[in-house]
Amino acid sequence: MFNDFNEWLCKTNFSFLHGASHPRDIIETANALGYQSICINDFDGAYGLARCYRELDYLRKNQLHQGLKLNYGAEIHLHSDHDLPVLLQDTLVLVAQNHQGYTNLNRLLSYAHREGKSYANIPLEYLLGSDVDGIFAIQPMRGRVRTQNSPSHHAELKQCFEGRYFLAISRHLHPAEDRWIKTTLECARRHKLEYILTQDVFFHNRQQKCISDLLQAIRTNRVFDQCREHFFPNAERCLHRVNELERLFTVIPGYRKALGLSQSLNQSCQFDLDQLGYHYPREMIPPGHDAQSYLRFLVNKGLQEKFGHNPPDKIVRQIEHELVLIGKLNFADYFLTVWDIVSWARRQHILCQGRGSAANSSVCFVLGITSVNPDQFDLLFERFVSMDTSAMAVIVQQWLRMSSPSGARDHYARSVRHSGLMMDYSSKCLRLRQVAIFVEPVPETLSWR
């Protein structure tokens, strides 16, 4: 029964000065112990999720994977009480069940940091009015359970999550900890809530307890003897072996039902980072076209503008070769995005010039992105784009006018918001990160020929 255990509360060292174990140690230990799944929910952010995903992927590629599944969540603060001992902070764990849930989770986390990096929190009133579709919530056996067990709090959250609100029961073999089991069971009975079993993990093994204490001393800026109220009472907030789990939890009333609930929740979690992908702007693609067909249309149009109605056979063959490769790699949207930015620059009378390996592309030439005439040189397109690499090609555009990156940023701001791309702006460059487009200003004294 405990051979396929699902752990729902786990912090990594990306919960700064709280979690005492690296994602690698967490994932490797859970995998070695034969857990069915583990949910990473660092405080107020998705900080450790990508690293945990990478570590699990490493195990798969090296044939060390024993079936462990990664679930994705975060533990949010409902108040700015981060300076209190961890056991007294008013928090709530949110777990994404699907892609929409992960989207909603990240929106909530963005709001939590509305006032800056420190003391991120989401007031309960805001959470109750938010879109939580695809998310379920877990109340740890800490925080509100120990400080203010408000009846309305549980009723409101149960209604907000449409029944997807659960209590967590942890057993840590210490009177100061385990006294709250009875309180949680009574709360579950009173409010008709279901509960799950969890180890509430902050480090992967017991030896890390000393590191956990050290982190709390650093966090509070005190010597050990002055911050013991911030320490966990013992070293039980770690990942346990199957026989230890059985010893811990078989004394909990209704433990079989709780384990069954964990299995059902794990099955409901269908999201994985593999589902995330690039979403390019689509506004430039007219009705009746997809990205590849519209790119071909623009290339044929540019080919006639550059070479007339009888272009050289060499260029026609090269362009067809490039278009086939672009289609196989699904890069058409990428080329259209660059073309759209460059076209806007031309309309603004801003001189810009493509450089680097993109100059090996005949498609880039006829689209006006680069200026190296492929009819005059023997170009190697595979130096720019190749089937041998899955990495996104990089097209660098240099701009003559120093203010042009800001204008391009403004031009693309709406598309970036709608597409989920990330745009960074500094005095040196404009960067659409996920499509690898770079726009760099150059000194106005440079002579363009």
Q: What is the mean pLDDT of residues 285-297?
A: 95
Q: How far apart are CA 266 and CA 256, in angstroms?
A: 15
pLDDT of residue 385: 74
pLDDT at 313 over 50: yes
Do β-strands 37-40 and 6-7 pair in parallel, antiparallel, or remain unpaired? parallel
Using alpha carbons, list the distances in angstroms from residue 98 to 105, 170, 192.
Answer: 10, 26, 26
| Residue among 201, 204, 195 at smallest CA distance from 262 | 195
Q: What is the mean pLDDT of residues 70-74?
A: 98
Using alpha carbons, list the distances in angstroms from residue 187 to 141, 144, 152, 181, 182.
Answer: 11, 12, 12, 10, 9
DSSP secondary-structure letter at 156?
A: H
Q: What is the mean pLDDT of residues 258-274?
A: 97
pLDDT of residue 406: 55
pLDDT of residue 394: 64
DSSP secondary-structure letter at 423?
A: E
- Model confidence over 336-371: pLDDT tens digits? 988 998 898 888 888 887 777 767 788 989 999 888
pLDDT at 381 over 90: no
Q: How far apart are CA 369 and CA 351, in angstroms?
A: 11
Q: Give the tokens for residue 209.
A: 């307890």
Residue range(s) in the chain whose domain bears CATH number 3.20.20.140: 6-274
- Cβ atoms of 402 and 445 within 8 Å: the answer is no
Q: What is the pTM of this model?
A: 0.76
DSSP result, 388-422:
T--SPP-EEEEESSTTHHHHHHHHHHHHHHHHT--
Q: What is the mean pLDDT of residues 210-223?
A: 96
pLDDT of residue 437: 41
Classify 211 as helix, strand or coil. Answer: helix
Using alpha carbons, list the distances in angstroms from residue 124 to 5, 86, 90, 121, 344.
Answer: 31, 19, 10, 9, 45
CATH of range 6-274; options 3.40.1410.10, 3.10.50.40, 3.30.160.250, 3.20.20.140? 3.20.20.140
pLDDT at 411 over 60: no
Adjacency order of strands within the sheet including 91-96: 6-7, 37-40, 69-77, 91-96, 135-139, 165-169, 195-197
Neighbours of 361 (CB within 10 A): 28
List the single range of 27-36, 129-138, 392-401 with lowest mean pLDDT: 392-401
pLDDT of residue 106: 96
pLDDT of residue 59: 97
Q: How far apart are CA 165 and CA 144, in angstroms?
A: 15
| Residue among 56, 51, 136 at smallest CA distance from 100 | 136
Amino acid at 422: M
Q: How far apart are CA 75 and CA 369, in angstroms?
A: 46
For 328, half-sphere exposure in the C-beta direction (CA atoms, 13 angstrom radius) is 12
- Model confidence over 20-45: pLDDT tens digits? 999 999 999 999 999 999 999 999 99
Residue 433 gets the label, from left (phi > 0), alpha (psi -120 to 50) or beta, of alpha
Higher pLDDT, residue 151 or 326 = 326
Neighbours of 198 (CB within 10 A): 24
Adjacency order of strands within the sheet including 437-441: 352-355, 395-399, 437-441, 430-432, 423-425
- Cβ atoms of 139 and 78 within 8 Å: the answer is no
- Model confidence over 186-209: pLDDT tens digits? 999 999 999 999 999 999 999 999
Q: Mean pLDDT over all residues of the chain?
A: 87
Neighbours of 267 (CB within 10 A): 12
pLDDT at 403 over 60: no
